[in-house]
Every structure is written in structure tokens, then in C-alpha cells.
Structure 1
Amino acid sequence: MFIIVALASYLAFWPVPIEPRAWQAPQSPGYTGVHAANSKLAGLQRIALDGEAGPEHVAVGPHGKLYASVASGHILRMNADGSGKEVFSTTGGRPLGIAFDASGGMVVADSVRGLLSIAPDGSPTLLANEAAGQAIGVANGVTVAGSGKFYFTDTSSRFPGAQWGQEGALLDVFEQSCTGRVLEYDPGARAARVVAHGLCFANGIVLSADEQSLFVSESTRYRVLKIAVAAAQLDVSAPSSQASVVLDKLPGYPDNLTRGLDGRIWLGLAGPRNMLDQMAGHPWMRKLALRIPRVLWRMPKPYGHVIAFTEDGKVVADLQDPSGETRTTTGATETVDGLYIHSVDATSIGWRPRQ
């Protein structure tokens, strides 16, 4: 009897670091319509990372070189076929999004350190770790405008990467407190301002073709927003002419956004919808789940999934790998020769010839 009482007390009262909010999960379309189940992402060719893991973002830099941000804190550089692999830079944190300015200079969103620039010799310089007097919790995606300004996402102020690491992402998903921001860094002023706030797990980001808007993935709302670059301290939780939904009710968690060819924007879906939808309106269930040992969690089968869409929200490509071999697909980078798949978990970079 004592054991039963002790177990019940543990499951009911053991402290957890989240204060979950109730919300209404949108109906999942499942793998139907434009997202009809397929195997177009299966059987990718592989570029081994030689002991490194987690190529969360892959970008094409000067001279056609590939750059990949990995879990060790390194940024790898290699030829398009994976040869000539080397460590280009070590950020001292966990680099995520990578972008290049007009001169070929690299800027990195690092979930631990903030927004960084990387010199041609690979040495990092901190550009910003706060905006509007608030620390940047988890710098995630980044894009560069023709004006030279950098736009990037801050995923969560509740669970900073420097304190919580990758565990913070899980906690933020469970809590649903929506403390994500979109930020603008002006190299001339050497300061960051808040474009928008109130995002639920702000993640990938790219500029529109005319650079008047930003496309931003809101992971735990299963959607992609379009936000005016000119916005200032915009609360996306309230109706506004400066923000609209471009993609909604996605079948998975939207992650990195990248500019492709022919006007396409590529988006990775890092995992399928899961039991969290059923727990959306029951905060106590999410607290209870965190008290259960992880080995007892019923995890969804890994499911690879990337899509491409146009600026008006039309899905023009949908590639899936239901086998789970291509897992945690955080994004895709398209070149004239191939499509490179990002992953926060993989020990290689999957790619396929462009079709």
C-alpha cells in the first residue's frame, strides 16, 4: 500500500520545470491531399560525417562549398560531394541556422551563444545575445537581407539553450507558453530589435523575394506565418494586418525554411503530429508525462518529410520517407545539382540528385 501511495504522490506532485498552458490543437489532416503518403525521400545517398552528428542546417557558401552545423559546436565545410571535409569553425555553443551575406560572410544563429558572425579564418564574433533588454534564449534560424540586416528567430525565453540544451526544446513544446520572437540585427547600429513576439516555438525564417516580409515557421502551432519586415514589437497572438498564416494545419512540426530554386521555399517537418495534440487542453497530463521515465514513453516512429511551397502558400513538392531511415528532417537545401536534407539527429547528410 505504501508503494502505491508513494507512486501516486510522485506522479501527482513531483516538481517539473514547466507550467503548461491549455490550447486547442488544430485538426491534423494526416497524410492526405497534397501531403498524401509517398516514399519520394527514401533511399537517399549519404555523406558520412566521420564521427560528427546532427547536421541541423546545411547551407551553400562561397565557391559552392557546403557548410553544416553539428551538435559538437563545429561548423563543417566540404565540397558538394562531401569530399574535402574539414572543421571550418567552432562556435563554443550549438550552431543551428547558417546564412551568408552578399560578400560571402557567414552569420550563425547559435542556440547557446546568440547571433554570431564567422570570419573567413573561422573565428566567431558575438553580434547579439539580447534584444530590447531581454536575453536571447535560443537563437535558431537566420536570414540575410540585401540591406545587410540579419533577421533571426529566438525560439524560447523560458528555456534558454545555455541552461537547458536540447532538453529545452522538449520542455518548450510541452509548456506551450509561446515566448518566441523574430528579431532584426542592424550591423550599423550593432543592436537587435524585436520585429514580432508571442510565437509558439519560433523556428525557421526566410525573406520574401521582395524582402518586405518574413516567412517564419511556428513549430508547435503547425504553421508558417508571413510577417512584415517593418513590424515592431508585433504580438502575433492578436489579429494584425502585418501578420498572416501562409501554411496551416501541417501534418508535422515545421522547422527550417530555406530559399530554393524557381521561387520555391523548402520546409522541413521534424516529426509527425503525436499524442501532444490529445493533451493540448489538459496541462496536468503534460506534467504527468514528464514525471514518467523516458524509457516508458511511447515514441512515434521516425518519419522523414520535407515540402516546398510558393509564397502564396501553394505546396509544389512533398517528399516523405515513412521507413524512418531519414529521421528528424529539420530542412532541405536545394542546389542546381541536388537536394540536401538537414537533420538534428543524423550521423550523415542525406541527399539526392535534383529532379
Structure 2
Amino acid sequence: MIRQAILNIAACAGLLVLLGVAYLCFWPVPVEPVSWHASAPAGYTGPYAANTRLANINLIDIGDDYGPEHIAVGKDGRLYAAMTSGNILSMELDGSDRKVFANTGGRVLGFDFDADGRMIAADAMRGLLAIDAHGVVSLLTDSVSANDPIGYANAVVAGSDGTIYFTQSSMRFSPREWGGTLEASVLDIIEQSATGRVLAYDPATNTTRVVAKGLSFANGLALATDELSLFVNETGRYRIWRVDANAHDVDMKGNSAQVRILLDNLPGYPDNLVRGRDGRIWVGLFRPRNPAADSLANKTFLRRILLRLPRSWLPTGKPYGHVFAINEDGDVLDDLQDSAGLYPETTGATETTDRLYVHSLHAHAIGWVPY
């Protein structure tokens, strides 16, 4: 009897192991991983030498909202911040007189102001939006053509000629269909199929064209001073590109004179790009790189297995606050860090005459430091 019971337990255990192995190896996942090469990171050295300049960050209360992914000062001198709830908050620069300016019903990840003072917002759920001074939201575009939807609008910048440039992070995974912006970004970066694009919307003709394609999660965007080129973050490959603004459907994977890498092999995942003062462009690193994730760059089968595990097991890097400023040649001009990551998931920075406001994907406050 005892021997038979032991055999039964062993058989059940063996079956469970087999089922577990079968699940890890064969359970369907939504990605088709592509092999790529990840260069060995230099780490926190040189212009990114470790420091504690973000360690004592000040906080501005934002009530029940959270996730000030993008922050900018409007033409009215007030501070605007886009929240996870779909709210865009408006407040004085010290955080007083806080109010809800608009709610898009989606998730705005980036916005800018056009020559008329309208807010132009890239909403990951809805597309490219315009929001007037009264907070009324209207759709500008949610597709390039009838069969080419824009499912993950991310960052936006308005040119002086009226052209609106914006990024589409992925053509494969839209936040509306895949459980939100974070889940869709995880799927896209694990897959590495590089379907991100830079787009341009012409309000005069109500048309959208592809400027450049082939980016592994296209993210932050900034316009050069002469407006002849764009800077764009490629989050999934740890780099920043410079792209001709007048390019048409140029492939980043090809060999084109219209695109070049400005900064490569960054120590973390670049998110927003925001124009500062005196020629600075601020970059936010969402999280530092993880050697385990880099080691899987050419191991497509193991990346499939990763998606069958709990999301908390993903090698996403530890919390680490990091923003830095560059010029248009890619020289690092300033760098602020917090190794403890107390202000979580820094996505960018907005500079005024005396403050640097720090963006975050999930923080429950707006962070700032004297600058």
C-alpha cells in the first residue's frame, strides 16, 4: 500500500513536471522574436558617471492621479502633465491651482503646443489629438491610410510650418488590444521586430505620411533648431537617431544618408526627448539595462519562454532615476541620477528658468529639482 502510494505520488509529480515543461516550451505567445545584437554596455562611466543629483527630489501633489508621463509648460505659462487616467492636469509652476484641463478617454504619452496655442497630443489609445483652450478634444488622425492604423501614438512635436511630427511605437502591439501601454511595450521590445515609425501630419491637407520606419519601439521626439531634422529615441535598442524631417518612408534598417545614429549603447531605456534651454535636449531613461535581457538578444526561444512566466520575473532592470541633457551633436551636457530610484521610472525632464521637472510613468507626484 505504502509503495503504491509512493509510486502514485511520483507519477503525479512527473506528470506535473511534464505539463510544466510543455507549458514553458509550447504554450502560444503573441510574439515572434527576432534575433539582434546588443552591445556590451559601458555602464555608469564617462558622461554618465554615477551621481546623486536626483536623490533629494521635491514633490508636487497631483491628488488621486498618477503617472505624469509627459510634462510641459504651455503658452499660458502653466504646467501641464498627462496622467494614466486620461486626465491632463494644469497647474501653476509651483503646483498650486491644480485642475483637470481635459480628459482624452485614452492615455496621452506626449504633447506639444502649436502656433495657435492648441495642445497637440499623442494618445496611445486614440491617435493624434488636438485640444483647444477650453479642453475640447478632437481627433486629427488615427491612420496613415485606410488599411494602416496608428495603434500606439507616443511622442509629438509641432513644427513652425504647421507640420506635426509624431512617433508610432509599434505596428504590432497596440495598447488598446494588449492590456495597456506597458504590456504592449513589453511585447514589442521582447519581440524586436522593429515596426516603430516616425510620422508627419499635415493639417492643411489632413494627410499623414511615414517619415521613417524600422525602429524598435519608437519613442521620444524632438525637433532640431533649424527644423530640418528630428531626434528620435529607439527604446528597444538603447539609442537616439537623427532623421531628416523631409524624409519619406526611409527604412532605418537600410543604408540611407537621411538617418544616422546620434547616441548609441545608452546605459538604459531612453523614453522622452524634451527641448530645454540654451540648446539642451533632455533625455529620460526609464530603467537601466539588465545584462540578463541583453544576453537574450540572439536567443529567440528563451524570449518566448519569458512571456510564459509571471511579468515580475522579466529582466527589466532595477529602479534607477536618470535624466540627462545633450546638444544637437549628441554631446552630454548634464546628467542627474538617483541609484535608489525613489522617484520611479523617470521618462524625461522639462526645464524652466529655475526648475527641472521630472516625468515618470507611474509616480504619484510630479518631481522637481532646483536647476
TM range (shorter): over 0.9
Cα deviations by residue, 1:16-62 (Å, 9 ceiling, x for unpaired): 11111110012211001111111111111000110101100001002
- 1:296 CA displacement: 4.3
Mapping of residues 38-187 of structure 1, within 5 Å? 38-132=51-145, 133-164=147-178, 165-166=180-181, 167-187=183-203
User: What residue in structure 1 maps to residue 348 of structure 2?
Assistant: 331
Quote the Cα distance in structure 2 between the aligned partners of 1:292 and 1:200.
23
Whether 1:34 aligns to 2:69 is: no
Unmatched 5+ stretches in structure 1: none
Whether 1:228 aligns to 2:227 is: no
C-alpha contact (below 8 Å) 2:293/2:316 kept by paired residues: no
Quote the Cα distance in structure 1 between the aligned partners of 2:217 and 2:264.
15
The partner residue of 1:277 within 285, 288, 294 is: 294
Whether 1:311 aligns to 2:324 is: no
- 1:324 CA displacement: 1.2
Deviates more, 1:130-139 or 1:109-118: 130-139
Q: Secondary structure at the match of 1:108?
A: strand
Give the residue type in structure 1 aligned to 2:341. Answer: G
TM-score by length of structure 2 reads 0.94
Quote the Cα distance in structure 2 between the aligned partners of 1:248 and 1:327.
24
**Aligned CA-pair RMSD:** 1.0
The partner residue of 1:242 within 251, 254, 258 is: 258
- 1:326 CA displacement: 1.8
Quote the Cα distance in structure 1 between the aligned partners of 2:241 and 2:314.
31
> How many percent identity over aligned positions?
50
Cα deviations by residue, 1:60-110 (Å, 9 ceiling, x for unpaired): 002210100000011010000011111100101111101001221110000
Q: Secondary structure at the match of 2:21?
A: helix
- 1:300 CA displacement: 2.9
> Cα–Cα, structure 1 residues 124 and 299, in superposed 2: closer, same or farther, change >3 Å?
same
Deviates more, 1:26-35 or 1:204-213: 26-35
Deviates more, 1:292-301 or 1:59-68: 292-301
Q: Secondary structure at the match of 1:10?
A: helix
Q: Secondary structure at the match of 1:203?
A: strand
Whether 1:21 aligns to 2:38 is: no
TM-score by length of structure 1 reads 0.98
Unmatched 5+ stretches in structure 2: 1-13
- 1:306 CA displacement: 0.5
Quote the Cα distance in structure 2 between the aligned partners of 1:320 and 1:337.
18
When the two structures are aligned, how many residues end up with a matched partner? Answer: 354
The partner residue of 1:251 within 259, 264, 267 is: 267
Q: Secondary structure at the match of 1:102?
A: coil
- 1:297 CA displacement: 4.6
Quote the Cα distance in structure 2 between the aligned partners of 1:29 and 1:253.
14
User: What residue in structure 2 maps to residue 341 of structure 1?
Assistant: 358
Q: Secondary structure at the match of 1:163?
A: coil
Quote the Cα distance in structure 2 between the aligned partners of 1:146 and 1:2.
66
Give the residue type in structure 2 aligned to 1:311. Answer: E
Cα deviations by residue, 1:211-267 (Å, 9 ceiling, x for unpaired): 000000001111100000110000011111100111111000011001000001000
User: What residue in structure 1 maps to residue 309 of structure 2?
Assistant: 292
Give the residue type in structure 1 aligned to 2:164. Answer: F
User: What residue in structure 1 maps to residue 5 of structure 2?
Assistant: none
Quote the Cα distance in structure 1 between the aligned partners of 2:135 and 2:68.
18
The partner residue of 1:207 within 214, 220, 223 is: 223
Cα deviations by residue, 1:144-193 (Å, 9 ceiling, x for unpaired): 10101100000001001221212101101110010001000111001111
Query: Which protein is bigger by CA-based radius of gyration?
Result: 2
Q: Secondary structure at the match of 2:117?
A: coil
Quote the Cα distance in structure 2 between the aligned partners of 1:297 and 1:110.
26
